[in-house]
Amino acid sequence: MVSIKEVAKQAGVAISTVSKVLNGYPNISRETRDRVNAAIKELNYIPNSIASALSSKQFGRIALILDPKRQTQAIDQIFMQYLLGALDKAKELKVEVETIFSSMIAGMSAEEITGYLRSKSVVGVVIYGLSKEDKVLQRLINEQQFAFVVVDAPIVNERTTSIGVDHEQAQYDVAKKTVLDDKCRKILYISGRRDGYVTEQRLKGMRRLVEDLDLTMTVRRGEFSELAARNIALKYAENKDVIVCASDLMAIGAMNALIEMDIFRPVCGFDGITLMGYVGKQMNTVRQDFYSISSRAIEEVKLLIDGGQGRKVTMPYSIVKMYYKDIIC
Amino acid sequence: MVSIKEVAKQAGVAISTVSKVLNGYPNISRETRDRVNAAIKELNYIPNSIASALSSKQFGRIALILDPKRQTQAIDQIFMQYLLGALDKAKELKVEVETIFSSMIAGMSAEEITGYLRSKSVVGVVIYGLSKEDKVLQRLINEQQFAFVVVDAPIVNERTTSIGVDHEQAQYDVAKKTVLDDKCRKILYISGRRDGYVTEQRLKGMRRLVEDLDLTMTVRRGEFSELAARNIALKYAENKDVIVCASDLMAIGAMNALIEMDIFRPVCGFDGITLMGYVGKQMNTVRQDFYSISSRAIEEVKLLIDGGQGRKVTMPYSIVKMYYKDIIC
DNA sequence: CTGTTAGCGCGTTCAA
DNA sequence: TTGAACGCGCTAACAG
């Protein structure tokens, strides 16, 4: 392995000079800079990022904590977008990333996780889809030992930034559009899991809509499960005139139920996942750009690491109609 | 940050002694070992893996090269399984992993990629779904600068191990089962992309089956695209009595075409992805365990790094029937 | 503008 | 059985 020392010898300069050239310090004559660069080329030298990190004490890695335990591929798509967005931005910002699936830290105490993260030189953490019930991670966030960015969880403190779309407003918007398009009055709302922060936000949006438009609403908990949503729809859809679901996956379950019951009701979802197209029906949904959200999350965690204040970041969303033909490729 | 030095002071021993305790060296008295461990607990000391790596020169990371550019979620599921399998095993083996999506190295030359990998201290690489047309990665493999494990590509050399199921036999088996179950004779085979290694292997399996059972077969290239498969089925399925597809996604396309044509033909796929269930029809498919394959790939790359020989590793598969009700959750 | 020196945190001889 | 000393590859003062 060719090191900085050999480059220095080859170029006939001191090690520190090479280092300065490498890191773009100003006070280097063009001549020496050229000689050093020539030597680098010649020896095919590649700086050792490990040593560099150690020396500069700047080894701050960012951990991504993903929870893809729900084995539905609809979720996989979301997590892949999260990953892609994060890794691209990390490369751009030249920070190292440690991908952690929640199964890898399941059962660990807060101390153990702290130790694990510190042993990996992690200084910032992005948590995707934090559960309300996850007391361990919550405690980690409160301790403020790391910089945190939580996606879709309304937690903000000195060292914690919250990022995500405005779930309340988005749910309001998509449901309103669906309701108005079809002049509906009786809503069946299939909500998410109790332990998800977004669940109550979206529900709040629905409550506001019901009030604003003077509608009636029946709420049932679908747990973000396609099967649960399907069963709820089978049971309650008959005498409602629209079904609003807190996720695309549940919307698909509901729609399949309607097909089985051989009745038509407008349905709307939330997320904008591709799978939506596969049911062969058109429906409104909230589209979030998971890639951008994740990309921005990395920027935010970097800001925190560099001394920034935790804050709330709201990302844009749109209401779209998805249909098989638009998606197939 | 509490370092080994402070632990040493606290325990009243030398730095090197602490290091020896940490790394389980034999010649340490129980008494000092206890004192050191007590100090570690007390100070909540966590070894710095960066420094440790630098010092021991053992920093061999493993890069994962994934190509999720096909934006179909069916593929996302596969890649998530690959990732999970790899990360779990990497944690178990205590090796660091660098996740690389092919978009991040697109357009780079072989030299640039080598440099990129080396700057990240990568010594081993796992490539998922290498394309025949990817001359850059092929060259990297030939140069043998890193240890390679290629998933689903039949490349073996000194430092390259090939891993995957026996695609030829698997394709043979699943098609045979489907054909025999329904006493079919005229096959429409929708194959994969020309640039995929598995494409020709699976086709070979089909040719053998046709010969063995004295069948007739029409082959059309579906490019692993749902839409292409759909169009092929629309055009050719009518006067065939079974459709065999080289992927689940294409099987779904074909099945949707059949529904539209309002005719029934048995269809079989390949992969065992969850999406299969969503078309609401039962069909045979080859199920591969992507998690296990990836997990094993990490083991294999570790073997290569530690001086092992490249070789061919064949993973098991099974033929299963998938149906909506079995999958929904 | 360039070189000397002193570490970063840790592993590893080699004496003692 | 232990510890002093050196070095991994590099960065960052400080001198010159």
Q: Suggest the residue from B50, B64, B290 to mutate for an interface test with chain A (most A CBs closer than 10 A).
A: B50
A216-221/A186-191 β-pairing: parallel
C-alpha span between B234 and B236 (Å, rounded): 6
Q: Is B80 in contact with A103 (CB distance < 8 Å)?
A: no
Please indicate whether, in this complex, the C-beta atoms of B88 and A71 are within 8 angstroms of each other: no
Chain A residues near residue B46 by CB distance under 8 angstroms: 115, 118-119
Q: Which two tokens stand for residue A246?
A: 């807190």
Q: Can you tell me whether residue B142 is helix, strand or coil?
A: helix
- pLDDT reported for residue A302: 92
Out of A4-18, A246-260, A310-324, B269-283, which region has the weakest mean confidence (pLDDT)? Answer: B269-283
DSSP state of A277: G
> What does the pLDDT read at residue B324?
43
Same fold, B58-164+291-316 and B167-288: yes
Residues of chain A with pLDDT > 70, as a percent, come to 92
Q: In what helix (H) or strand (E) does residue A220 lie, and over which residues does it extend? A: strand A216-221
Cβ(B288)–Cβ(B276) below 8 Å: no
Give the span between the Cα atoms of A153 and A297, in whole angstroms: 13
Q: What pLDDT, on the 0 to 100 scale, is given for residue A71?
A: 47
Give dist(CA A204, CA B68) in Å, integer.
36
Q: Which chain C positions have some atom within 7 A of a protein CB? A: 1-5, 7-13
Residue A74 has pLDDT above 60, yes or no: no
Give the tokens for residue A8: 């220095």
Outline where DSSP puts E strands in A47-135: 61-66, 97-101, 122-128
> Tokens 């908990």 identify what position?
A221
**According to CATH, what is the number of the domain A167-288?**
3.40.50.2300
User: Does A329 score more than 90 pLDDT?
Assistant: no
Model pLDDT, residue B327: 38
Give the Å distances, CA to CA, from B74 to A80, A290, B118, B241: 12, 17, 33, 27
Please name the nucleotide lying closest to B1, CA to C1': C9
Q: Which residues of A197-216 are buried (b: 16+ CB within 10 A; e: fewer)?
A: bbbbbbbebbbbbbeeeebe
Q: What is the pLDDT of residue A325?
A: 42
Q: What is the mean pLDDT of chain A?
A: 87
Out of A46, A80, A256, name the one closest to residue B80 (CB). A80
- Token duo for residue A167: 């779930």
* Per-residue pLDDT at B275: 56
- Which residues does nucleic strand C approach, with CB less than 7 A? A 12-17, 20, 26-29, 31-33, 54-55, 57; B 1, 3-5, 15-16, 19-20, 22-23, 47-48, 51-52, 54-56
Cα–Cα dist A306/B73, whole Å: 36
- How is residue A168 written in tokens? 């309340």
pLDDT at A75: 63
Per-residue pLDDT reduced to its tens digit, A295-309: 999 999 999 988 889
**Torsion of Cα atoms, B250 then B256 then B259 then B264, to 10°:** 10
DSSP of B120-137? TTEEEEEEES-BTT-HHH
Angle at B310 between CA B309 and CA B313, to 5 degrees: 120
Whether A326 shows a pLDDT value over 70: the answer reads: no
Decide if A328 and B46 are in contact by the 8 Å CB cutoff: no
Fold type of domain B58-164+291-316: Rossmann fold (3.40.50)
More confident residue, B313 or A35: B313
- Chain A CB contacts of B278 under 8 Å are 252, 275, 278-279
pLDDT of residue A79: 86
Task: Give pLDDT tens digits for B246-270.
Answer: 998 888 888 878 877 888 899 999 9
Instruction: Summarize pLDDT for A264-295 with one digit per residue, the tens.
Output: 899 999 988 765 545 456 788 999 999 999 99
Query: Strand pairing partners for B245?
Result: B190
More confident residue, B273 or A221: A221
Residue B274 confidence (pLDDT): 62
Could you name the CATH architecture of B1-45? Orthogonal Bundle (1.10)
Task: Extract the residue ranges of chain B whose pLDDT is less than 50.
Answer: 71, 73, 277, 279, 324-329
Q: What is the pLDDT of residue A324?
A: 42
Residues 6+ apart with CB under 8 A from B153: B127, B129, B130, B162, B164, B197
Check pLDDT > 50 for residue A3.
yes
Domain map of chain B by residue range? 1-45, 58-164+291-316, 167-288
The three-class DSSP label of residue A265 is: coil
CA atoms within 13 A on the CB side of A31: 2
